[in-house]
Amino acid sequence: MYASPIARLVQQLGKLPGIGEKTAARLAFHILRASAEDAAALAAAIVEVRQKIRFCSTCCDLTEADPCAICRDQRRDGTLVCVVAQPQDLVAIERAGGYRGRYHVLHGVLSPLDGVGPDDLRIPELLRRCGDGSVAEAIGEVILATSPSVEGEATAVYLAKLLRPLGVRCSRIATGVPIGGELEYADQVTLARAIDGRREM
């Protein structure tokens, strides 16, 4: 129904997650109306990201230079590794500030129903990092920072079982009522966990 270049763009945009046919058409018409520079910049950014981005050989984060900026940063504590599911989670923790250790990105969580097993995640790389005596700094503690969802919890438990025999201390991020949250509106599981996990003050 659309002219074929528009139809092709709508089809390609429709392959993006959460973008249905109507949203794809809206985006396509926006691209048609946007400045020539903006349209060219978007196309160039897509090409560039595919050409330049690779996995960091140490932490498996997405990076332009290998090793990545965090793995290269000598001021960071190399004995402490925070394991996250996705690169976005790493960015969220960096934004929160305060954490000065290194990271390991799994690129997913265990999810048997979706066909995601241990071999589909960057677990061998994590075990190599922790078990390998050749690394300059021995890893003393791994913070398992997957989400407190069913899959995230299962992944954390699975990793802890593999890491402890290597002599690595494993910890899990705290769960509870979020800062600024109202007790009244917290769900039952969160509240029960917050009470179980209470700390002396």
Contact footprint for a copy of itself (CB under 8 A):
1-6, 8-9, 11-13, 15-19, 23, 25-32, 34, 36, 38-53, 62-64, 68-69, 86-88, 91, 94-95
Residue 27 or 191 having the CB closest to a copy of itself: 27
Min dist. Cβ of residue 58 to a copy of itself (A): 15
The 8-class DSSP code of residue 136 comes to S
Distance (Å, whole) CA 69 – CA 56: 9
Residue 33 or 198 having the CB closest to a copy of itself: 33
Min dist. Cβ of residue 73 to a copy of itself (A): 13
Distance (Å, whole) CA 104 – CA 83: 5
Min dist. Cβ of residue 152 to a copy of itself (A): 17
Sort 82 into a burial class: Cβ within 10 Å, 0-12 / 13-18 / 19+.
Answer: buried
Residue 39 or 166 having the CB closest to a copy of itself: 39
Token pair recorded at residue 69:
């900026």
CA distances from 60 to 46, 76, 125 (A): 21, 17, 8
Residue 45 or 195 having the CB closest to a copy of itself: 45
Contact 106, 116 (CB under 8 A): no
Neighbouring C-alpha atoms within 13 Å toward the C-beta of 42? 12
Min dist. Cβ of residue 92 to a copy of itself (A): 9
Closest CA to 126 of 160, 87, 176, 88: 160
Residue 93 or 123 having the CB closest to a copy of itself: 93
Q: Which helix or strand (DSSP H or E) is residue 181 part of?
A: none
Min dist. Cβ of residue 193 to a copy of itself (A): 25
Min dist. Cβ of residue 63 to a copy of itself (A): 5
Residue 3 or 201 having the CB closest to a copy of itself: 3
